[in-house]
């Protein structure tokens, strides 16, 4: 009655649990940095501030995708399959933000 399937997969590392908790504390610390920066830079409006927050977001995204979603331990081409299109999307986002500035001038 028992039917066990064999699926292809990449083996997780032997210290996966340690890596998970380490990553949690990194994400926790990064979020605290986010909050601290927010209150420190509350009354400023600069491109640098925006860039800094987006950068923090990207760093957090790296840890979530690489460790929590296991990407670090998968085949390289799977990472590229996801990352390359997203780089193009980020380029599109940047272009649209610039277009937004031009539209502001038209209002």
Partner 1 sequence: MSNTSTLATEKKFTWGGGKSPFSVSYGKLMMWIFLLSDAFTFSSLLTAYGFIRHSFPSSMANELIKPMQHLSENFVEEMQHSGLFSTAHWPLPELVFNHFPFIHGMHLPLFFVSLMTFILIFSSVTMVLAVEAGHRMAKKEVAFYMFLTILGGLGFLSCQAWEWTIFITEGASLHGNPFGPTAFAALFFIVTGFHGFHVFSGVMINVIIYLNVLKGTYEKRGHYEMVEKVGLYWHFVDLVWVFVFTFFYLI
Q: Applying CB under 8 A, which residues contact partner 1?
A: 2-10, 12, 16-17, 20-21, 24, 27-28, 31, 34-35, 38-39, 42-45, 49-50, 53-54, 56-57, 60-61, 64-65, 67-70, 74-75, 77-78, 81-82, 85-86, 89, 92-93, 96-97, 99-101, 103-104, 107
CB of 67 to partner 1, least distance (A): 8
Shortest Å, Cβ 16 to partner 1: 5
What is the separation, in whole angstroms, between the first and last Cα of the chain? 70
R_g of the chain computed on alpha carbons: 20
Helix (H) or strand (E) holding 26: helix 16-40
Do residues 34 and 53 lie in contact, with contact meaning Cβ atoms separated by under 8 Å?
Answer: yes
């Amino acid at each position: 009655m028992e039917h066990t399937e064999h699926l292809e997969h990449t083996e997780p590392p032997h210290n996966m649990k340690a890596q998970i908790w380490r990553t949690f504390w990194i994400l926790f610390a990064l979020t605290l940095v986010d909050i601290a920066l927010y209150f420190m830079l509350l009354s400023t409006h600069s491109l640098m501030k925006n860039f800094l927050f987006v950068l923090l977001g990207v760093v957090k995204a790296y840890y979530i995708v690489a460790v929590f979603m296991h990407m670090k331990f998968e085949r390289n081409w799977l990472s590229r399959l996801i990352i390359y299109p997203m780089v193009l999307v980020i380029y599109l986002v940047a272009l649209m933000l610039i277009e937004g500035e031009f539209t502001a001038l038209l209002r």
